[in-house]
Amino acid sequence: MAVEYQCTIKKPVSVEGMGLHTGQKGTMTFHPAAEGHGVKFRRIDKQDQPVIPANIEHVVDTSRGTTIGINGTRVYTIEHVLAALTGMGIDNVLIDLDMDEIPIRDGSSRYFVEAIEHAGIEQQNVEREYITVDKELVLENAEKGFRLCIVPADDFVVDVKIDYGTSVLNVQEAHLGSLDDFKTEISPCRTFVFLHELEFLLQNNLIKGGDLSNAIVFVNRKVSQDELDRLATLFNKPKVKVKDEGILNNLELHFWNEPARHKLLDVVGDLSLLGKRIKGHVSAFKPGHYANTEFAKLILQHKKLK
């Protein structure tokens, strides 16, 4: 097999936007980094500008996204940008951030992929290292309903299946046979939410940066026009209605199985917290940030015991 080398970006590039949950506006800037540097976030808005490595040991919360932290400083919702870096083959980068949370943009990885393309990709002089497994590893939780497994493979392959037990979002599957397909098949896929979850988040002062342009909203119950009008006012839209397929008319789906593809995007992003590329076939049923990061810990523990 051909030798693969680590890569960074050729020049700095920035992405501006608002944090989904915090509502903070700010800028995230990617900088080239040396071989072996890995992916690290630097909070330039803090006095001592702490640097937080994007690895599994620094995960501090997975409730509404994946959050890393060190000594009380955190970076929220990192999964979409980490997926973009992995999908575009970037091993080493320093990411400056002047707020608590990664800009949500449209709820996908597309804007981060475009920024990396704009910066350009530079091959470095050190070989890329991989995480491999020599047997099947399984993480299963009957109470939470998820199951993730990995088996040996020569490439990184991911299969995802979701089932929310509702007719508006039927059982869906998504497949990524090669990271070469990430840009076109996975990166544009946006996050999604059920209407009742949206209401809960709003009531609990979350999604301050949500504006109906960064999530697919599924409606799995009857909704009055008064309620739809209230949502329209809340999100500064002239009118909100429920389309025949059971989603709000805030956007059009990129793929019929966009939710499953987005869950696959999250798996790619969260597993990149291992710090090295994976060679293995990952299958995930009802994955989420907690399940993904616990699975990453299981893989890491297996490597340490070898």
pLDDT value at residue 214: 77
21 labelled catalytic: no
Of residues 230 and 152, the one with the higher pLDDT is 152
Whether residue 139 contacts residue 147, with contact meaning beta carbons closer than 8 Å, is answered with yes
Whether residue 42 contacts residue 51, with contact meaning beta carbons closer than 8 Å, is answered with yes
pLDDT value at residue 140: 97
Of residues 166 and 44, the one with the higher pLDDT is 44
Whether residue 103 contacts residue 18, with contact meaning beta carbons closer than 8 Å, is answered with yes
Beta strands in 3-145, from DSSP E residues, in sequence order: 5-9, 13-18, 25-32, 39-43, 51-53, 59-61, 67-70, 73-75, 93-97, 121-127, 130-132, 137-141
Indicate the pLDDT class of residue 22, thresholds 50, 70 and 90: confident
Q: Which of 31, 37, 289, 302 is catalytic?
A: 289
Residue 23, pLDDT > 90, answer no
pLDDT value at residue 113: 98
Residue 306, pLDDT > 60, answer no
Whether residue 86 contacts residue 42, with contact meaning beta carbons closer than 8 Å, is answered with no
133-145 pLDDT, tens digit each: 999 999 999 999 9
248-291 pLDDT, tens digit each: 877 889 999 999 999 999 999 999 999 999 999 999 999 999 99
pLDDT value at residue 209: 58
Lowest mean pLDDT among 111-115, 162-166, 300-304: 300-304
Of the chain, the end-to-end C-alpha distance in Å amounts to: 24
Closest CA to 111 of 175, 42, 189, 180: 189
> Across all residues in the chain, what is the average pLDDT?
92
Residue 241 to residue 255: CA distance in whole angstroms: 21
- Compute the residue count for the chain: 306
48-76 pLDDT, tens digit each: 999 999 999 999 999 989 999 999 999 99
Beta bridge partners of 139: 148
Indicate the pLDDT class of residue 224, thresholds 50, 70 and 90: confident
The predicted model scores a pTM of 0.94
- What phi and psi, each to the nearest 5 degrees, are found at residue 100? -75, -20
**Among residues of the chain, what percentage have pLDDT more than 90?**
73
pLDDT value at residue 100: 96
175-220 pLDDT, tens digit each: 999 999 999 999 999 999 888 777 676 666 666 655 667 788 888 8
What are the residue boundaries of the structural domains of the chain, listed by start?
Answer: 5-129
Cα–chain center distance at 1: 30
Give the fold, CATH level 3, of 5-129. Answer: Ribosomal Protein S5; domain 2 (3.30.230)
